[in-house]
Structure 1
């Protein structure tokens, strides 16, 4: 299933995942008086935190990469152990002020085997059966008890806000691996022609120059990857996307004016390099707290490629 985890820089270990989940629950359930439970003094009683309306959650993140089968088995075993802990911690949960539990959320970065959903349903039925058999022993659990598997994708608005408002050292990595060869068919022929014409004017070389083809191919690759990155940002991190879009649109107009008012074609390359450097500085100023340096360099080239492909950036060829 889809995951936003590849966009998060570095490997997410258990402590980092737990911290992220707690931050997400604080934001998502502010009006339900979310309370986090530190894992000290005898453990966390099988939950990381709770709300006043009976939602509790527990986190699990594998400490290393597993294949699909191994990941499912570890997730299954963790869910089983924590539900058992939940059932056995009646007195401790009550002392902490946890109300009758209506929902138990199993927070995992992702799952790749739907059997974890089936297992969650099995454990839910077991809990309800035990409560029906011994109501007083399990009065810390609601008659309407449910287990839900929650993945990172379920908290994209909260994760986006956490990163955007610098509530964490976490950064997004948007840099992608470019192919050695670019599939020009993914780029409209008019856009290709625009890129070729403008790059040729900057380089001041003939149309049959082999270096021109190479550079044009690179910028077509940037243009294609830029569309992919912006689409992913809009889908997964809409607030960050909106901030970036507004900056890009503002500077795009500035670029249009700079290049159209420039009359000395001998200095096209100087102007182009100045635009690249200035735009990177603007990106670094506004986005370095939330994006890796590689992401900023990638976005600079991708967005400049989009200006070459449309009518925003023009260079005199004669």
Structure 2
């Protein structure tokens, strides 16, 4: 299995995802899937009537950057060679439409040398006289990872009854320490606010619990911000909805803090529940795995504690 920040795939599941989102994205361009059950895939998984063809590839396991590049490079070379091998069969499918772009769809690209390899192969095939009639004079070879199809991947996962997972590492102790050292003003704010959650304790356990909870909020904030960065790049529609919800709740928090009769812990719990319900109203729990949905909720609390809207009075 091959893991990315947004999913876990093998060869079959990646191809299934690709076919689903290609049919959505290129329906207006006459996209056609090339099934491989009879004569093989002929070097392409599908094509449009505008001269774009696609080939999918997902490695069978996790590789380092060098080995992943080697497998991807060899797959591109091998499948492009099928254009020569199956030229006569392909001509019957394309009916006069020449191939302008051959796009290699793979979940992740980690080595820029793959881009150079694609360019070299494009030049090679444009200059190959035996490919006249099949390839356009502008023929190009490109590589696309899943980031090219963010909106369509969301729809594809819903169609395939899958939820999106955005995997980011949990910040380690040193990351938390580094953040706290760079954000001394924010830590002072957190110390004042969070201390109120443990005012019922004696001084030593109060200090211990306050410090632990501060570290937890910093960890939630760092991890949540990384998830939001991925969402902004790939799932912009969901990201924008989250921004609006978070901003709307934050805009009313200051007044609610002044008027509430709730104890600090109850106010914290109520605010978290309000945000969870707002995200559910936009079907975030249907789109994203619970871990993502949960991390977004805890990032919001950490953010509001750090940036001041959420306070406990007194």
Distance 1:260 1:174, change over 3 A: farther
Q: Which residue among 300, 306, 314 is the counterpart of 1:303?
A: 300
Partner of 2:185 in structure 1?
190
Quote how far apart the aligned CAs of 1:30 are: 3.6
Aligned residues of 1:45 and 1:93 also touching (Cα < 8 A): yes
What is aligned with 1:73? 70
Change (3 A) 1:67 1:300: same
What's the counterpart of residue 88 of structure 2? 91
Indicate the residue corresponding to 1:57 in structure 2: 54
Aligned-residue offset at 1:186: 5.8
The residue that corresponds to 2:165 in the other structure is 172
Q: Secondary structure at the match of 1:146?
A: strand
TM-superposed CA distance for 1:56, in Å, is: 0.5
Residue 272 of structure 2: which of 260, 269, 276 is its match?
Answer: 276
- Separation in 1, partners of 2:121, 2:219: 49
| Superimposed CA distance per residue, residues 113-157 of structure 1 (whole angstroms, 9 cap, x where no aligned partner) | 333333333433443343x2x46xx42222332211222233334
* Residues 230-241 of structure 1: pairs in structure 2 closer than 5 A: 230-241=228-239
SS at match of 1:263: coil
Supply the distance in 2 between the matched residues of 1:186 and 1:145 (Cα, whole angstroms).
Answer: 53
Cα-to-partner distance string for 1:166-192 (whole Å, 9 max, x where unaligned) = 334141225541323522446533322
Q: Name which structure has the greater RCO, CA cutoff 8 Å, separation 6+.
A: 1
| Alpha-carbon distance, 1:268 to partner | 2.2
Q: Given that residues 14 and 63 in structure 1 are in contact (C-alpha distance below 8 angstroms), is that contact kept between their aligned partners in structure 2?
A: yes
8 Å contact from structure 2 (residues 4, 108) kept in 1: no
Which residue is 2:194 aligned to? 199
Contact 2:11–2:57, Cα closer than 8 Å, also in 1: yes
Inter-partner Cα distance in structure 1 for 2:146 and 2:154: 11
SS at match of 1:177: coil
Q: Is the 8 A contact 1:36 1:50 kept in 2?
A: yes
2:313 aligned residue: 316
With the length of structure 1 as denominator, give the TM-score of the two structures.
0.84
Q: Which residue of 1 aligns with 2:221?
A: 223
1:250 match: secondary structure: helix
How many Å separate the matches in 2 of 1:139 and 1:33?
A: 21
Moved over 4 A (4+): 160-163, 205-208
Aligned 8 A contact 1:174 1:298 in 2:
no
Uncovered stretches (5+) of structure 1, i.e. residues with no partner:
none
Q: Please, which runs of 5 or more residues in structure 2 have no aligned partner?
A: none
Deviation at 1:242, TM superposition (A): 0.5
Structure 1 residue 227 displacement after superposition: 2.9
Quote how far apart the aligned CAs of 1:207 are. Answer: 6.9
The structure-2 alpha-carbon separation of the partners of 1:7 and 1:305, relative to structure 1 and needing over 3 Å to count, comes to same
Residue 253 to residue 161, structure 1, CA distance change in 2 (3 Å): farther
Aligned residues: 304
TM-score by length of 2: 0.85
